[in-house]
Amino acid sequence: MLRHLASLALASALVLFAAGTASASGLLLDPSEPEGNAACLECHSQPQTMVRDGKTISVHVDPEAYNNSVHGIISCSRCHAEAGPEHAADPTKPLGLPTGRALRVLKSEGCVKCHAGLYPASYNESFHGIAVKNGDERAATCVDCHGVHDIQPSRVETSSVAPANLPNTCGTAECHPGAPENFAKGKEHFVVAERESGGLHIVYKFFMGLILFDTMKDGPIVMFELLRRLTHK
Ligand code: HEC
Ligand code: HEC
Ligand code: HEC
Ligand code: HEC
C-alpha cells in the first residue's frame, strides 16, 4: 500500500512537472484520506441515486472513467470539500449543495483553484463566461464543455474537446443546434490583448456589448460566438 501511495505521489509530481499547466496548490491527495479515493468509490461505484429538490439525481461515478481521466490522480475531496468524514458516516444527510444548473456553475468556479492563467482568463472574457456571470441559464460552464468525472485533454481522441468531437459537444440541442460545420474551428481559449491592433480590440468590445444585450433579451447566440471567433484572426 505504502509503495502504491509513494508511486502515486511520484506520478503526480511528474505529471505536474511535465505538464506545468495546472499549478495545483498544495497536495493532490488529501491527507485526511490516505487511502485515496477507494473509500468514496466503494459506495459511489454503485448505481445509486438520491432525491434533492424533488428530483432524482444519480450519485454514480464510473471508477474506470474517473481513474483514467486526467483527474484520476487527485482526491475526490479536492473538488468535493463538502463531503467530509461525517458524510461516509451518514451519507443521507444533505451536503448543502445546490442542484442542476446552479451546481454546475458552483463547481466550475472551483476549477480555477488549480487552473489559473489563460483558461479562466479567456473564459471570463468569452461569450459563455460573460453570459454565465449575468445569470444566463444556457451558456456553457467549464464542465459543460469538458465533462465532469471523465475529463480528458483535447489531444486525447475521446476527449469532449478533441477537435473531431467539438461539432458534437457544441452542437447539442440545448446549445448550438445546426451550428455550421466549422463553427468550433480555432482556439477556444485565447485572450484578446489590449495592445493587439486597436481596431480589433474596439470591434471585440463592440460585439461583447451586443452579446450582453442579446443575452439579456434571450435572443439567438450562435451568430455572436461566430463573430467573436472571426474578430480573432
Ligand atoms: C458509505 C457510503 C458512502 C461513502 C463512503 C461516500 N459516499 Fe457520497 N454519497 C453516498 C450516498 C448513499 C449518497 C446519496 C445520499 C442520499 O441519498 O441522500 C451520497 C451523496 C454524495 C454527494 C451528493 C450529496 C448532496 O447532498 O448533494 C456527494 C458530492 C458525494 N456523495 C461525494 C462523496 C465523496 C467525495 C466521498 C469520499 C470522500 C463520498 N461521497 C463517500 C454514499 C457514500
Ligand atoms: C475536477 C473536479 C472533480 C473531482 C476530482 C470529482 N468531482 Fe464529483 N463533481 C464535480 C462536478 C463539477 C460535479 C457537478 C456535475 C454536474 O452538475 O453535472 C460533480 C458531481 C458529483 C456528484 C453528484 C452530486 C450532485 O449533487 O449531483 C457526486 C456523487 C460526485 N461528484 C462524486 C465524486 C467522487 C466520488 C469523486 C472521486 C472519485 C469525485 N466526485 C471527483 C467535480 C469533481
Ligand atoms: C485540485 C486541483 C484541480 C482542480 C480543482 C481541477 N483540476 Fe483539472 N487538472 C488538475 C491536475 C493535477 C491535472 C493534470 C496535470 C495537467 O495535465 O495539467 C489537471 C488536468 C486538467 C485538464 C487537462 C490539461 C492538460 O493540459 O492536459 C483539463 C482539461 C482540466 N484539468 C479541466 C478541469 C476542470 C474543467 C475542472 C473543474 C471541474 C478542473 N480541471 C479542476 C488539477 C485540478
Ligand atoms: C465552450 C467550451 C469550453 C468552455 C466553456 C471551457 N473550455 Fe476549456 N477547452 C475547450 C477547448 C475546445 C479546448 C482545447 C484547446 C482550445 O481550443 O483552446 C480547451 C482546453 C482547456 C485546457 C487545456 C487542456 C486541453 O484539453 O487542451 C484546460 C486546462 C481548460 N480548457 C480548462 C478550462 C476551464 C478551467 C474552464 C472554465 C473556466 C474552461 N476550460 C471552459 C473548451 C471549453
Segment 171-198 shows an average pLDDT of 81
Question: Backbone phi, then psi, for 175, in 5-degree steps?
Answer: -105, -85
Query: Cα(94)–Cα(101) distance, rounded to whole angstroms?
Result: 18
Q: Is 87 in the pocket of ligand 1 (CB under 6 A)?
A: yes
- Note the pLDDT tens digit of each residue in 38-79: 999 999 999 999 999 999 999 999 999 999 999 999 999 999
Question: Backbone phi, then psi, for 56, in 5-degree steps?
Answer: -90, 120
> Which of 49, 150, 48, 55 shows the shortest CA–CA distance to 102?
55
Ligand 1 centroid, distance to 83 Cα (angstroms): 7
Question: Does 98 have pLDDT greater than 60?
Answer: yes
Q: For 149-183, give one letter per residue: b (16+ CB within 10 A) or e.
A: bbbbeeeeeebbbeeebbbebbbeeebbeebeeeb
Question: Does 97 have pLDDT greater than 90?
Answer: yes
Q: Which atom from ligand 3 is nearest to the alpha carbon of 12?
A: 12
Could you tell me how far CA 138 lies from the centroid of its own chain?
15
Q: Which atom from ligand 1 is nearest to the alpha carbon of 77?
A: 35
Instruction: Tell me the whole-structure pTM to 2 decimals.
Output: 0.86
Segment 205-230 shows an average pLDDT of 62
Q: C-alpha angle with apex 57: 103 to 42, nearest 5 degrees?
A: 100
Q: Is 71 in the pocket of ligand 2 (CB under 6 A)?
A: yes
Question: Does 35 have pLDDT greater than 70?
Answer: no
Question: Does 16 have pLDDT greater than 70?
Answer: no
Q: Is 161 in the pocket of ligand 3 (CB under 6 A)?
A: no
Query: Cα(11)–Cα(187) distance, rounded to whole angstroms?
Result: 29
Which pLDDT value is given to residue 63?
A: 96
